[in-house]
Amino acid sequence: MSLCTEHLWHLTLCCFSLGETMVIAAKVDNSSSKDMTPKFTLIQDVLYLANSSTKHKSNVIFRMAGKGIKPQTQEELKCEVKIPCDQKPTIQNCDIIKVEYHLKSYFHLIL
């Protein structure tokens, strides 16, 4: 059984503001024998710094799944992910707290 897939994600921008919509495009070659579903997770990482100790907290803001891709097919995907307006902005130039966001993208294969 082959689980080989090829994909290359493309974002229209690298930085996004609260309330903006990310448009994610990909060309996907599903050469496996199973259906696969693209999934996206927006993750907030917060790092608290005090004296010599640090505390890391990771929060999942939201998850979404795209349309399934049939086996042995090639498709162009286009997904829109809206950044929630109620989140804290990214903080990177502070000595006591850092807040960053990451978009995790992956494919789910049902075996």
Write out pLDDT tens, residues 34-86.
888 888 888 889 999 988 899 999 999 888 888 888 888 888 888 787 888 88
Q: Say whether pTM exceeds 0.75.
A: no
The domains found in the chain, sorted by start residue, are 5-109 (2.60.40.640)
For residue 101, the model assigns a pLDDT of: 85
Q: Judge contact between 10 and 72, C-beta under 8 A.
A: no
For residue 2, the model assigns a pLDDT of: 34
Write out pLDDT tens, residues 74-107.
888 887 878 888 887 778 888 899 988 888 888 8
